[in-house]
Amino acid sequence: MSLKTIFVAGMALTLASTFSAAAQEAKRIAFIPQIAGIPYYIAMREGAEKAAKDLGAEYVQQGPTSTNAADQLRIFDSFVNQGFDVIAISPLDEETLKPAIKRALDQGIVVLTSDADAPGSARQFYVAQALDQDLGYTLLDEAVERIGDSGKIAIVSDSPTIQSMQNWIAAVQERAEQKYPNIEIVSVDHTDGTAARAYAFASDAMTRNPDLKAVLGMASTTCPGIAQAVEAADAIGEVLSAGFCSPNTARGYIKSGAMPYSVLWNPADLGYLTVFVGNHLAMGNEITSDLEVPGLNRTIEVQTESKVIVLGTPSVFTIDNVDNFDF
Amino acid sequence: MENTLKKSVSRPITVGREGLLLITLIILCIVFASQSEFFLSSRNLTTVLRNSVDLSVICAGMTIIIILGGIDVSVGGILAVSAVMIGRAYQYGMPDIIVIPIGLLTGAALGYGNGLLIAKTRVPPIVATLGSMYIFTATLFIVIGGVWISGLPNSLSFLVLGSFAGIPSGVFVIAVVYGGSWTILRRTPWGQRVVAIGCDEKSAQLAGISVVRTKIQAYALLGLFAGVAALLYVARLRNVEVNIGTNIALEAIAATILGGANIRGGVGSLLGALLGVIFIKITQNGLVLIGVSSLWETVVIGGLLIAVLAIDAFETRRTS
C-alpha cells in the first residue's frame, strides 16, 4: 500500500464522516436546575455531559442564582430563543412555566421535566430520579428501623413552592398514617434556604417536644442545619436527624452520628438519563416501555400513561457507603 | 405656649419607642408563654439567643448607617463572602489566629468599597448597595464553585454555643458589640459627626465635617460587623451554604426601624434595634412553639413594620 493510497483513503474517510455528521446534526440539549452552584446539580451535569459525549450531542446547563421562579422562566425563554432542540427543566413553580412550555412545544422543541415535575403542564416526559412516594416511604422506613415504630417526628423543608418537596412530605405523612399509626408528625416548617433557619426550626421542634425522636429534612439545604441542631443540643443518640441530603453535605454528620443515614439517588445517573431521553425524542424516536439506556447500568421504568420515566429505587447512604460518593 | 405644648406632647413619645417595643415584646412573650410551657424554659431562651447573635451584630452597624441617613442592603452578601473566605481559610488548615483577621478584614474591605462608592460617586446608597449585593452574591458562587463548605472546625463555637459563669456566651458578644457601638456613637466626636450628617448633610458639610470620610468609615464599620457575624455564623453552623445571608439584610433593616430608627436619617437607637432583633427572633421561635405555621411569621413582622411606619408618618405630620 503506497503512501498515496493511504492518504486518499484517509481523505475519503474524513469526507464520509463529515457527511454523516451533517446528515445527523448534533442535538442541542439544555437543562435548567432549580438553583445554580450546588453540588447536587454539578453531579447531575457531569452525568449529562457524559451522555452528551456518548451520543454526540451538545449540552448546556444554566440555572438561577436563587430559587426564583421568574428567573427560571427567563432562562427557559432564552433557551427557546437560542433554538435549542431539547429543554429539560426542574421546575420551581408549575404555574409560572405552563405557558412558556406550551410555546416551546409549539415551536417543535422537546420539553422535559427532570428532577422535579410540572404534572399540569404540557411537558412531554418527566424524567424522575425515583418516585416521590418511594422516596418518602424509604426515608420514613429507615427512620422507623432506627427509632422504632412509635414516637414524634418533625419535618423541616425548603420553600413550600417546590412541588417535589411537598410531594415527599405528603408521602412521609401517608406512610405514617397507613403503616405506622403510632408515629406522629408534629410539625412541618419551611426555611428560606439557609442553614440558620433549618437549625432554628429543628431546635424549636426539639424544645417543643422534649420526647422528639427524629427530625427529617426534605431539602439538601436543610441538612447541615438540622444535624448541627442535634449536635448542639447534645442529643446524638436521642434525636435522629435524616433527610434527602447529598453525601458530601451529610458526610460529617453521618460520621458524628447526628445523621445516621441520608436518602437520595445518584444525580449523575439522572443527568445521563435526561440527556438520553431528550436526544432520543429529538431524533424522532418514540419512548416505549422497554426503553434501554446503554450507558446506564440499571433498569429504567417507563410509565407510558403518566409519561414518567423513572431512574430506579432510591439509595440510602450510611457510614458504610458514604465515602463511595462525591456529590 | 404652643412651643412648650408641642414639646410636652412629642417628647415622651419619641423617648417611648423602646418602651413601646418592650411592652409589645412582653405581651408577645405572655401570649407565647401561655400557649407553650417550653417557651420560657432556659433551654429555649438560650436557643433564641444563639439564633440572634449574628443578626444582632449586623444590626448594631446597620443602626449607625441608618442614623447616618444611609442604608446597606448588601450586608448579606458581605457576610456571605466573608464566610466563604473563613471557610476556605479553614480548609487550607489555617489556625484561628489567621482565620479571624481574614474574616474581619474581608468584611471591612467590602464595606469600605461600598462606602467609597456611595460617598465619592453620590449614587443613592440603596442603589449602590443593591449593585454590590449582586456582585457579592456572584463572588460567593464563583469562589464556592458549587461545593458547599461543610464540616468546618468548631474551635470558635464557644463564642455562640458556650457559656461563662452560667451565662450563655452570646450575651457577652452582644454586650461587647453594643457597648462599643454605643460608646462610638454617643461618646465620641465621630459619633456626633454621624448624627450631624444624618440630620442635615449640607449643614454638616458647611460646618466643616468631612462627610466623605465619615461615610466611608461608617460603611467599613458595618462591613466589619458583617465579618464578625460571618465568624459567628460559621462558628455556630460550621458550614457555608450557597444561600447564606439570604434574608439577613432585610431582617436587619426591619429590626432597626422597629427599634425607632428613622429611615430618613438622624434618629435611631441601638437599644431599640436590639429589641427589634429580639422581637423578630422571638416571633420566629414562638410561632413554631405554639404550633402556628412558620409561614405566618413574615406576616406578623411585616404587619408590625407597617404599623410602626404608619405611626411614624402620623407623628411626623402632627408635629410638623
Domains and CATH numbers, chain B: 2-313 (1.10.3470)
- pLDDT score of A98: 93
Residue type, B69: G
Q: Specify burial of residue A119 (Cβ count, 10 A radius: 0-12, 13-18, 19+).
A: middle
Cβ neighbourhood burial of A237 (10 Å; 0-12, 13-18, 19+): exposed
- Residue A295 near chain B (CB below 8 Å): no
C-beta atoms of B36 and A208 within 8 A: yes
Q: What is the DSSP letter of B162?
A: -
Select the residue from A66, A199, A203 to test the B interface by mutation, using most B Cβ atoms within 10 A: A203
Q: Which residues of A touch B47 (CB under 8 A)?
A: 200, 203-204, 207
Of all residues in chain A, what percent are helix, strand and coil, respectively (each to 5)?
45, 20, 35
Quick one: cell of A132? 416521590
Rounded to two decimals, the ipTM of the complex is 0.76
Q: Are strands A301-303 and A308-310 parallel, antiparallel or unpaired?
A: antiparallel
C-alpha distances in Å from residue A5, one per residue of A2, A10, A19: 5, 8, 21
Cell of B108: 471591612
Nearest to B280 by CA among B267, B268, B294, B290: B294
* pLDDT reported for residue A139: 96
Query: Are the Cβ atoms of A207 and B289 closer than 8 angstroms?
Result: yes
In this prediction, residue A24 carries a pLDDT of 62
* Kind and range of the H or E run holding B53: helix B42-67
Residue A303 exposed, middle or buried by CB count within 10 Å (0-12, 13-18, 19+)? middle
Model-level pTM? 0.76
User: What's the angle, vertex CA A106, arms to CA A100 and CA A110, rounded to 5?
Assistant: 80
Q: Which of A71, A152, A208, A325 to mutate to test the interface with B (most CBs of B within 10 A)?
A: A208
Q: For chain B, which ranges sit under pLDDT 70?
A: 1-16, 145-147, 320
pLDDT value for A22: 42
CB-based contact B41 A207, cutoff 8 Å: yes
**Mean pLDDT split into 10-residue runs, chain A, 327 residues:** 55 50 74 86 92 95 86 93 95 91 94 92 92 92 95 92 87 95 94 89 94 93 92 93 90 93 91 96 90 85 90 91 85
The whole-number pLDDT of residue A8 equals 57
Spatial distance between the Cα atoms of B193 and B185, rounded to a whole number of angstroms? 9
Q: What is the pLDDT of residue B34?
A: 94
**pLDDT given for residue A178 in this prediction:** 95
Which chain A residues have a beta carbon less than 8 Å from that of B44? 204, 207
Burial class (CB within 10 angstroms; exposed 0-12, middle 13-18, buried 19+) of A289? exposed
Cell numbers for B88 = 476556605
